[in-house]
Structure 1
Amino acid sequence: MWTAIILSAVSMTLIVAARYAATSGLFAAITGRVKPGYHAKLGPQIRREIGWSLASAAIYGIPAGVVAWGWQERGWTQIYTGWNDYPLWHLALAPLLYLFAHDTWFYWTHRWMHEPRLFRIAHAVHHASRPPTAWAAMSFHPWEALTGAIVIPLLVFVIPIHVAMLGVVLLVMTVMGVTNHMGWEMFPRRLVHSRLGGWLITASHHQRHHEEYKCNYGLYFRFWDRLCGTDRGLSERI
């Protein structure tokens, strides 16, 4: 049993690392074409980002691997595979619930990480990326990575979700984590400045967090920032 659990954890760590490398590498390449020279003087910073991110991949991968083993071998979780196991409307609802729950957890833990002592101990690693790049999405101190690594593994025990929709959640989490750190806005201006865009977080919004620190703490949505008065709008630099 323990061998199978360890193999599952190692496999999931490799998957998380490969997903990070592929996604960040893709958007770093796009950045190189859209903004030539943006990364030219950031070599040492990018190497640090990759190092911290690969360490984070293990911290994310281990609990995910244990949960994956428990799902397949013991049926521990609420993950399901049959399209008719739940009403079809639940297919769309479940990812939204996951994203909102993850966003809520991220907002409050992220804001907590900006308390001076915790910032010095852990969150300063992430903010050492000046400017942030596509490689910085998982550049966390291990203590901070741990706070993020437990969310989805815990949610699968609580909220039923089809395995394909769980894949959608992980895709959104990965892509938004990377694109929000690129240092330039890849989404159309008409979306970013639209009524819908006013509730979504893109690079323009998150960049301001990296500029001013004490604002714009959200991950996917601006709901908590707006409700708590920490939304300072979009960066004027990108």
Structure 2
Amino acid sequence: MLLAILASALAMTAIVALRYLGASGLFALATRRVRPGLYAGLNHQIRKEIGWSLASAAIYGIPAGIVAWGWQARGWTAIYTDWAAYPLWYSLVAPVIYLAAHDTWFYWTHRWMHRPRPFRVAHAVHHASRPPTAWAAMSFHPIEALTGAVVIPALVFVVPIHPAMLALVLTVMTVMGVTNHMGWEMFPRALVHSRAGNWLITASHHQRHHDLYRCNYGLYFRFWDKLCGTDRGLA
């Protein structure tokens, strides 16, 4: 059993690492083509971002791998494979629940990370990326990586979700994590400045957090920033 758990943890770590390298590499390539020279002189920073991110991949992958083993071998989680087990509308709502819960957790832990001691001990690693690049999405100190690694594995125990919808959540998490750190806005202005865009976080919003530090703490949505008065608009 221990070998099976270890194999699952290692496999999930490899998947998270490859997902990071693939997504960040793709958007870094896009940056080179669309904004040539934007990352000029940042090779040393990028190497550090990749190093921290690969360490974070293990911290994310190990609990995910243990939970994946528990789901397959012991039926521990609320993940279901039969589309008929829940109404179609619920299958579509479940990812929104996951993203909203993740966003809430991220907002409050992120604000806590900006207190002087947690920032100095852990969060300063992420903000050492000046400016952030497409490689910085998972550039975290292990303490910060651990706070992010527990969310999805915890949710699958309490919120039923189909594997396809869970894959959608992970895709959104990966794409937004990378694109919010690219240093330029890839989404069209018509979306960013629309009514929907007024509630969604993109690079224009998150870049302002990296510029000013004490604002724009959200991950996917601007709800908590607006409610708590920490939204400072777009860069």
- Residue 225 of structure 1 deviates from its aligned partner by 0.2
1:216 matched residue in structure 2 = 216
| TM-score in terms of structure 1 length | 0.98
2:155 matched residue in structure 1 = 155
**Distance in 2 separating the partners of 1:35 and 1:137:** 18
**Distance in 2 separating the partners of 1:143 and 1:209:** 20
| Equivalent runs, 1:135-214 vs 2, <5 Å | 135-214=135-214
| 1:11 has 2:29 as partner | no
- Residue 93 of structure 1 deviates from its aligned partner by 0.5
- Residue 40 of structure 1 deviates from its aligned partner by 1.7
| Equivalent runs, 1:1-238 vs 2, <5 Å | 1-235=1-235
SS at match of 2:84: coil
How big is each residue's C-alpha offset from its partner over 1:191-215, in whole Å with a ceiling of 9 and x where there is no partner?
0000100000000000000000000
% identity of equivalent residues: 77
In structure 1, stretches of 5+ residues that fail to align are none
SS at match of 2:135: helix
In structure 2, stretches of 5+ residues that fail to align are none
The 10-residue stretch of structure 1 (31-40 or 200-209) with the greater mean CA deviation from structure 2: 31-40
| TM-score in terms of structure 2 length | 1.00
**Distance in 2 separating the partners of 1:188 and 1:88:** 31
- Residue 64 of structure 1 deviates from its aligned partner by 0.1
**Distance in 1 separating the partners of 2:233 and 2:90:** 33
SS at match of 1:103: helix
Displacement over 4 Å in runs of 4+? none
**Distance in 2 separating the partners of 1:36 and 1:169:** 31
Count matched residues.
235
**Distance in 2 separating the partners of 1:127 and 1:92:** 35
